[in-house]
Chains A and B, each alone.
Chain A
Amino acid sequence: MSGEVEGLLRELAPQVLAALTRRHGQFDACEDAVQEALLAASQQWPVEGVPDNPRAWLLTVGSRRLADAWRSESARRRREESVFAAEVDDAEVPARDDTLTLLFLCCHPALTPASQVALTVRAVGGLTTAQVARAFLVPEATMAQRISRAKQKIKKAGAQFSMPPEGERDERLRAVLHVLYLIFNEGYTATAGDQLLQGELTGEAIRLTRAVRALLPEDGEVAGLLALMLLTESRRAARSRPDGSLVPLAEQDRSSWDTVAIAEGVKLVSDALSTSRLGPFQLQAAIAAVHAEAQSSEQTDWAEIAGLYALLAQMAPNPMVTLNHAVAVAMVRGPQAGLAMLAELDGDERVSEHHRVAAVRAHLLEMAGDAAGARESYLAAARLTLSMPEQRYLLAKADRLS
């Protein structure tokens, strides 16, 4: 399928789904119908050309598929005849709220994060089940089942295709942003395997976050998340070698960072910080911006980063923040100060067995000149990690210290 057709389909997918769902209810059935319409379009349009009104085309085909499904499902249903006698009109619906409403539905609290992610990229992102399955490295049948179960759960929870009540909206929006961030990470953390598809996930996450930003331009956290994604994505080309091995930030070739993405990310986060209420995504984006703006690893403003992590630790305390904070503190005040902060995590069950703690400890011990201790910690981290490129990196670090 050409990129142009694919882009158009992704763009139209949530609009068509929203229009169908608003008309017929039954989000689950409508979602299947739209998925079929998208598949049909992806096969026909490249051959026959894109119809004059692609949105109306998708709506019509989606409606027919929905009618077919209902007919075959049960003959006792009579109503579809009248319902589908008329073509679905393509009245200008407020697409503005539709994408958000759909996102709220797909990120419904009744679902596990994995299901929220899968459903969001399919229903709102317009990816096919096969694409979603490949991106998450599971068989297509498994992914299809996961998505269908997610939809059943939403149905059971009694969720409607409408905006959540005002009082819940903020919390639900945080959940949506978290899911978008998970989609991004799923794509970003991949260095091997199907790179193209993984890149597709980060691109998809950025596209969806842009859409949310267009709807909620005043929300600082939406801007912060988009900035964080852009700034992180800007390093993609530099962060792994062609063989899949990882290049740490300090060793990356900064000339291959994407300056356009950096400029956009920096502007977004700067504007958000000066106009909106502060939030965790803005802080993380601000940290990424400090890294992005350093001409070289040595010129990184670690004091600024340490300050931002201190704020983040206050606002959204978690062990990973402490860990990163410790690295920044070590860069400012020396490795012993960082190691002292790490000691805070010793009794923390959530991370005591986490390879990142051992890896950071190894790094700080190496900075402190304790080669033997550093080597031991690198090896410990290598034993604990479940990432093959990370293990390779950690073992190589240990080797250099022997």
Chain B
Amino acid sequence: MKYLLMIYLNDETWAGLSAAERDAVMAGHEELQRITRESGELLDTNALGGPSTTSVVRVLDGEPVVTDGPFLEAKEYLAGYYLMDCESRERALELAAMIPDSRHGATEVWPVMVSSGVDL
């Protein structure tokens, strides 16, 4: 079962961290990636650029309209993600708790839909 773990942060919290705390976050990601790569659970992960680098595209009357900034206006923004393939929802939650940013912000855990179905 695949899960998308989405990391939400806000700039103030991130800027408020000490250098040592930021290093610990980086080290925590490396450790998590090592563990989940070894376990065969990690499918993909990336950090994302900040909100000021983000754009929203809408197509209105067939014309694309681009606005700057994220879709949801909030202090918290999507800072990065992990795509994991794990045994259970419980395991996905456990992995989310291992994301170091979960200590400073929050991580959303979304199951990924599949294009298959059982007999009806």
B114 CB to nearest chain A CB (Å)? 5
B39 and A389 contacting across the interface, CB-CB below 8 Å: no
- Nearest residue (CB) in A for B37 is A145
Segment 30-44 of B: residues with Cβ below 8 Å from A: 37-44
Q: Looking at the complex, which one of A147, A249, A389 makes contact with B117 (CB distance below 8 Å)? A: A389
A192 and B43 contacting across the interface, CB-CB below 8 Å: no
Interchain CA distance A191-B113 in the complex, whole Å: 13
Residues of A close to B19: CB separation below 8 A: none
Asked if B60 CB lies within 8 Å of chain A CBs, one says no
B101 CB to nearest chain A CB (Å)? 23
Residue tally, chain B, CB below 8 Å to A:
20
Asked if B18 CB lies within 8 Å of chain A CBs, one says no
B40 and A189 contacting across the interface, CB-CB below 8 Å: no
Q: Looking at the complex, which one of B43, B113, B115, B118 makes contact with A139 (CB distance below 8 Å)? A: B43
Residues of A close to B113: CB separation below 8 A: 386-388, 391
B119 and A239 contacting across the interface, CB-CB below 8 Å: yes
Q: Looking at the complex, which one of B37, B87, B111, B120 makes contact with A393 (CB distance below 8 Å)? A: B120
Residues of B close to A247: CB separation below 8 A: 120
A389 and B40 contacting across the interface, CB-CB below 8 Å: no
A189 and B117 contacting across the interface, CB-CB below 8 Å: yes
A388 and B43 contacting across the interface, CB-CB below 8 Å: no
Judged by DSSP, the binding face of A is: helix
A145 CB to nearest chain B CB (Å)? 4
Residues of B close to A386: CB separation below 8 A: 111-114
Interchain CA distance A288-B115 in the complex, whole Å: 24
Residues of A close to B114: CB separation below 8 A: 386-388
A186 CB to nearest chain B CB (Å)? 9
Asked if A159 CB lies within 8 Å of chain B CBs, one says no
Asked if B46 CB lies within 8 Å of chain A CBs, one says no
Interchain CA distance A376-B99 in the complex, whole Å: 38
Asked if A371 CB lies within 8 Å of chain B CBs, one says no
- Known contacts: A142-B42, A386-B111. The answer to whether A189 contacts B85 by CB under 8 A is no
Residues of B close to A232: CB separation below 8 A: 119
Asked if A390 CB lies within 8 Å of chain B CBs, one says yes
Interchain CA distance A386-B116 in the complex, whole Å: 9
Q: Looking at the complex, which one of B42, B44, B112, B117 makes contact with A390 (CB distance below 8 Å)? A: B117
Residues of B close to A142: CB separation below 8 A: 40-43, 85
**6 residue pairs, one from A and one from B, having the closest CB atoms:** A146-B40, A192-B115, A248-B120, A190-B116, A390-B117, A389-B117
Give chain A's interface residues, CB within 8 Å of chain B.
Answer: 112-115, 138-139, 142-143, 145-147, 149, 189-193, 198, 232, 235, 239, 244, 246-249, 359, 386-391, 393
